[in-house]
Amino acid sequence: MQRIVYLERESVIAEVRRPDFAHEWVEYQSTQAEQVVERLAGASIAIINKVSLPATAIAALPELKMVAVAATGTNIVDLEACKARGIVVTNIRGYAEHTVPEHVMALLLALSRNLIAWRETVQAGRWQQSEQFCLFDHPIRDLHGATLGLVGSGSLGNGVARLAEAFGMRVLRAEHKDAATVRPGYTAFAEVLAAADALSLHCPLNEQTRHLIGEAELRTMKPSALLINTARGGIVDEAALIRALKEGWIAGAGFDVITAEPPPMGHPMVAPQLLALPNFLLTPHVAWASRPAMQALADQLIDNIEAFVAGNPQNRVA
The question of whether 261 is a catalytic residue gets the answer yes
Q: So what's the pLDDT on residue 299?
A: 98
pTM of the predicted model, to two decimals? 0.91
Q: What is the mean predicted confidence (pLDDT) over 57-84? A: 96
- Report yes or no: 58 and 78 within 8 Å, Cβ to Cβ: yes
Q: What is the mean predicted confidence (pLDDT) over 50-56? A: 96
pLDDT at 248 over 90: yes
Q: What is the mean predicted confidence (pLDDT) over 72-77? A: 91
**Residues of the chain above pLDDT 90, percent:** 97
Q: Are residues 109 and 67 in the same domain?
A: no
Q: E strands of the chain, at which residues?
A: 2-6, 23-27, 45-48, 66-69, 88-90, 147-151, 170-173, 198-201, 226-229, 252-255, 280-282
Range of 53's domain? Answer: 2-94+292-309
In this predicted model, what pLDDT tens digit does every residue of 16-46 receive, in sequence order? 999 999 999 999 999 999 999 999 999 999 9
Crossing angle between the packed helical segments 155-166 and 99-112, to the nearest 10 degrees: 50
In this predicted model, what pLDDT tens digit does every residue of 180-223 receive, in sequence order? 999 999 999 999 999 999 999 999 888 999 999 999 999 999 99
Q: Are residues 219 and 299 in the same domain?
A: no
Domain count of the fold of the chain: 2
In this predicted model, what pLDDT tens digit does every residue of 130-176 receive, in sequence order? 999 999 999 999 999 999 999 998 999 999 999 999 999 999 999 99
Q: Are residues 103 and 87 in the same domain?
A: no
Sign of the dihedral through C-alpha 180, 186, 191, 196: negative
- Cα–Cα distance between 152 and 158 in angstroms, integer? 8
The question of whether 232 is a catalytic residue gets the answer yes
pLDDT grade for 73, boundaries at 50, 70 and 90: confident
Q: Are residues 84 and 113 in the same domain?
A: no
Q: Are residues 276 and 299 in the same domain?
A: no
Residue 314 lies in a domain: no
Residue 221 lies in a domain: yes
Q: What is the CATH number for 6?
A: 3.40.50.720
Q: Are residues 258 and 128 in the same domain?
A: yes
Q: So what's the pLDDT on residue 153?
A: 87
Per 3-state DSSP, the chain is made up of helix, strand and coil in percentages (nearest 5) of 35, 15, 50
Q: Which of these is catalytic: 267, 285, 306, 316?
A: 285
Average pLDDT across the chain, whole number: 97
Q: How many residues does the chain have?
A: 318
**Residues of the chain above pLDDT 70, percent:** 100
Q: So what's the pLDDT on residue 32?
A: 96
